[in-house]
Amino acid sequence: MRIAMIGTGYVGLVSGVCFSDFGHEIVCVDKLTAKVETLRAGGVPIYEPGLDEMLRRNVEAGRLSFTTDLAEAVKGAQAVFIAVGTPTRRGDGHADLTYVYAAARELADVIDPGTVVVTKSTVPVGTNREVARVIAERLAETGRDCPFEVASNPEFLREGAAIEDFMRPDRVVCGVDSEAAEQVMRDIYRPLSLREAPVMITSLESAEIIKYAANAFLATKITFINEIADLCEKVGGDVKAVAKGIGMDGRIGPKFLHAGPGYGGSCFPKDTSALARIGQDHSVPMRIVETVIDVNDRRKRRMVDKVLDLLGGKANGKKIAVLGVTFKPETDDMRDSPSLTIVPALVGGGAQVAVTDPEGRKEGEALLPGVTWEADAYAAAEGADAVLLLTEWNQFRALDLKRLKAGMRGDGFADLRNVYDPADVTEAGFRYVSIGRADAEPAPAAPAAEPVPVK
């Protein structure tokens, strides 16, 4: 099957490469000449484990190619995927669909009759019908006779685990409004059915909502456990035990219950904000999602106080070693990372901040002015008053704590990912704070029982 993929950003590139690995013939198209040249030479512009090897394998096999020429890419393709960016529009929180509609309009001039135009970008409800309208409008303008179909195929890839998620998805969601489009979508994903991944066929609107609802639900789950962590800190519980205890209930499930400094990344902040806007536009306020956004934003700012408390109330003149600045491990992505709130606040407060991150420096240098970059945790902690663990990279999970402490001048350790056992860190000589564990504050006395009224 021949497929064109418009956009070689994160989603487009991972999807294109994985589809070619299924055995389909894939042409990826992007307007950025330099990017296309890099890809043609076997280079991968993003950090995603396993992607470079899979890309080269399929380029060599002749199944995967890259071009800047849209007409050449879509010629003979049975399906054309639109995987361009839908950033949050400045000012109003809506998803910016400029690139999606521009691609749709251009496609009207070059697709073959019968092509299915599939939107992979995350788009608000109604966008797929609008894509169909934009194509039809352009066809009418040019007088070109070209029947086509549309489909919605949202992605659920996690950065850092994208290939695994693509190859072994919990489900594939395809929104269609014709049997012809359903057939093409089923053919595209047939290789996955051998692995028993369910392909779910829905309406265009349901598919669009599923994507936003899934991400908003997960963001809510994280935010919920983060608030429970706050409660644990005040009353003396352990959020890890609480998460385990509720997660063993099959209706709740154990995943996405790790308390931390607040969610970040390219999807949750953007999609929750877009869903809130969609709700407002349709007079169906998404109150839970709106609250989640607010609670998460405040949380990132509150994390600064946690670090300041450890430093005796002020950052001025202190040296802090920050371990990890990407929004999560196994990615170089800094988008909406908690570090972008926390680190500038510390630098602004007069702290000297030394950062180390296995992949974050490339993007992070421009985003985090005023910090120094070190090769590893030990170098960053040299002479520091406190260590701040922000991203749970494997490199930071089994540090030699005594060695780390020996190079420092202070003894603070703020572990915002609950990587360490409090007893181990304390034994190495640190004053340790983490998230939602009884180490933070002593439990207050239980309220006195009400006297039982005597009748």
Report the candidate in 176, 174, 181 with the shortest Cα–Cα distance to residue 200. 174
Q: Which of 58, 337 has the CB closer to ligand UDX?
A: 337
415 binds ligand UDX (CB under 6 A): no
Report the candidate in 146, 132, 448, 440 with the shortest Cα–Cα distance to residue 303. 440
How far apart (Å, rounded) are the C-alpha atoms in residues 331 and 163?
A: 13
Tell me how far, at minimum, the Cβ of 327 lies from ligand UDX, in Å: 4
Tell me how far, at minimum, the Cβ of 42 lies from ligand UDX, in Å: 24
Q: Which residue in the set 155, 233, 357, 385 belongs to the binding site for ligand UDX (CB under 6 A)?
A: 155
Instruction: Count CB-CB contacts under 10 A for residue 373.
Output: 16
The answer on whether 328 is annotated among ligand-binding residues is: yes
Q: Which of 80, 157 has the CB closer to ligand UDX?
A: 157
Residue 267 known to be catalytic:
yes
Q: Which of 141, 164 has the CB closer to ligand UDX?
A: 164
The answer on whether 335 is annotated among ligand-binding residues is: yes
169 binds ligand UDX (CB under 6 A): no
Q: Which of 68, 202 has the CB closer to ligand UDX?
A: 202
Q: Which residue in the set 263, 396, 413, 420 belongs to the binding site for ligand UDX (CB under 6 A)?
A: 263
**Catalytic pick from 18, 146, 232, 267?**
267
How far apart (Å, rounded) are the C-alpha atoms in residues 31 and 18?
A: 21
Backbone angles phi and psi of 171, in degrees to 5? -165, 160
Residue 384 near residue 405 (C-beta atoms within 8 A): no
How many residues make contact with ligand UDX (CB under 6 A)? 20
Tell me how far, at minimum, the Cβ of 180 lies from ligand UDX, in Å: 27
Question: Which strands, in side-by-side order, build the sheet including 319-323?
Answer: 372-373, 352-356, 319-323, 386-389, 412-415, 431-433
Q: Which residue in the set 210, 267, 342, 408 belongs to the binding site for ligand UDX (CB under 6 A)?
A: 267
Stretch that binds ligand UDX, among 145-153, 264-272, 275-283, 425-433 (CB under 6 A): 264-272
Site for ligand UDX in 171-230 (CB under 6 A): 215, 218, 222
How far apart (Å, rounded) are the C-alpha atoms in residues 398 and 360?
A: 20
258 binds ligand UDX (CB under 6 A): yes
How many degrees, rounded to 5, is the angle at CA 95 between CA 90 and CA 96? Answer: 70
What DSSP element (H or E) covers 2?
strand 2-6
Q: Which residue in the set 30, 159, 359, 385 belongs to the binding site for ligand UDX (CB under 6 A)?
A: 159
Backbone angles phi and psi of 239, in degrees to 5? -60, -30
Q: Which residue in the set 124, 260, 422, 436 belongs to the binding site for ligand UDX (CB under 6 A)?
A: 260
Contact string (CB under 6 A) for ligand UDX, positions 319-358, x = contact: --------xx------------------------------
How far apart (Å, rounded) are the C-alpha atoms in residues 212 and 275?
A: 6
Q: Which of 385, 415 has the CB closer to ligand UDX?
A: 415
The answer on whether 130 is annotated among ligand-binding residues is: no
Residue 80 near residue 113 (C-beta atoms within 8 A): no
Q: Which of 36, 345 has the CB closer to ligand UDX?
A: 345
Question: Which strands, in side-by-side order, build the sheet including 2-6?
Answer: 64-67, 25-29, 2-6, 79-82, 116-119, 149-152, 172-176, 199-202
SS3 196: coil
Stretch that binds ligand UDX, among 60-68, 232-240, 251-259, 406-414 (CB under 6 A): 251-259
Q: Which of 327, 396 has the CB closer to ligand UDX?
A: 327
Q: Hey, what amino acid is at 223?
A: T
Q: Which of 264, 410 has the CB closer to ligand UDX?
A: 264
Cα–Cα separations (whole angstroms), residue 143 to 63, 109, 111, 314, 397? 34, 10, 14, 69, 62
For every residue of 214-253, DSSP letters joined together read: HHHHHHHHHHHHHHHHHHHHHHT--HHHHHHHHHTSTTT-
The answer on whether 211 is annotated among ligand-binding residues is: yes
Residue 17 near residue 46 (C-beta atoms within 8 A): no
446: Cβ contacts below 8 Å, ≥ 6 apart: none
Tell me how far, at minimum, the Cβ of 160 lies from ligand UDX, in Å: 7
How far apart (Å, rounded) are the C-alpha atoms in residues 188 and 77?
A: 12
How far apart (Å, rounded) are the C-alpha atoms in residues 86 and 62?
A: 30
Tell me how far, at minimum, the Cβ of 88 lies from ligand UDX, in Å: 14
Contact string (CB under 6 A) for ligand UDX, positions 268-297, x = contact: x-----------------------------
In the bound state, the residue with its beta carbon closest to ligand UDX is 267
Q: Looking at the annotation, which residues are catalytic?
A: 267
Which residues make up the interface to ligand UDX (CB under 6 A)?
Answer: 155-159, 215, 218, 222, 256-258, 260, 263-268, 327-328
Binding residues for NAD(+): 30, 35, 86, 122, 159, 270, 335
Binding residues for substrate: 156-159, 211, 256-260, 264, 328
Binding residues: 30, 35, 86, 122, 156-159, 211, 256-260, 264, 270, 328, 335
